[in-house]
Structure 1
Amino acid sequence: MLYNCNWYTDTSAILLEPKAFSAKIDKGGVQLIDVRTPKEYAEGHIENAININYYSKNFEDSLKLLDIKKPVYIYCRSGKRSAKSVSKFRAVGFDSIYELEGGMLNWRSEGFKANTN
């Protein structure tokens, strides 16, 4: 039996490649969070994403405004900031955390669109 150590630990999220990530968020009932800067977000983001800047001094306070009972889907540019943010999501009480593998770079390379409005 094979185990994927990235699947779930206290500090990790479930990594989804763009196609699977898109399928999950398209079903609705999720909170889609872009942890990039407002400038990066304005240059192109996934439709219906909420921008919560990882580098903001009130990042964790902003996470507390979300519904911890609903799954959260997170992404950044390449996957580094979203991976670092997982522990902060867990700290405020999230259990169901999904992360876009490779971030927006991978999203776009797979042909998925980004909104600029």
Structure 2
Amino acid sequence: MGYKLLLLAILATLVYSCKDASAKEIEIITAAEMQTHMKYDNLQVVDLQPEEDYKKSHLLNAHNIIYNKDFRHNLENLDKKKPVAIYCTSGKVSPEAAKILKEAGFEHIYVLDGGISKWKEEIDKVESVQ
């Protein structure tokens, strides 16, 4: 009986450890999934585009944190405990930025697959600033 209890405790520890580790993974999401997260989660949305592109179009309530030499420093305004979703224009820059977020200790990181370009094709609910 004691052996079974020990085995159960070890399994519970392993399951809890795996769950905690996965919380710090980077998840690539579709435009539809991003829309759902934006609607129902307390999500921080970060637009990595240059300022000129951000002014042309960006997702509603997105913070423009340009992916440049100051990127790490500019992340200090975000809450590491809250989920953060990032996107760029085409989806090529976001994965690199997501690695920096992970290294900085952010726990829940989503990357919009294909960037805002793919979002426009699939959803087309982009806030235009003119």
TM-score (norm 1): 0.85
**Post-superposition offset of 1:99:** 0.8
**Post-superposition offset of 1:116:** 2.1
Equivalent residue in structure 1 for 2:67, among 32, 54, 60: 54
Equivalent residue in structure 1 for 2:38, among 22, 25, 29: 25
Letter of the 2:83 partner, please give it.
P
Q: CA RMSD, aligned part only?
A: 1.7
Give 2:91's aligned residue: 79
Contact kept? 1:38, 1:51, Cα under 8 Å: yes
Higher-helix-fraction structure: 2
1: CA distance, partners of 2:70 / 2:59: 23
Q: Does 1:91 align with 2:103?
A: yes
* Aligned structure 1 segments of 4 or more residues deviating by more than 2 angstroms: none
Other structure's SS at 1:77 match: coil
**Post-superposition offset of 1:111:** 3.1
Equivalent residue in structure 2 for 1:103, among 115, 120, 129: 115
- May I ask how many residue pairs the two structures share in their alignment? 108
2: CA distance, partners of 1:92 / 1:84: 13
1: CA distance, partners of 2:37 / 2:87: 14
**Post-superposition offset of 1:81:** 0.9
Note the residue ranges of structure 1 that are not aligned, 5 or more in a row: 1-7
**Post-superposition offset of 1:95:** 1.7
TM-score (norm 2): 0.77
**Post-superposition offset of 1:13:** 1.7
The percent identity for this pair of structures is 33
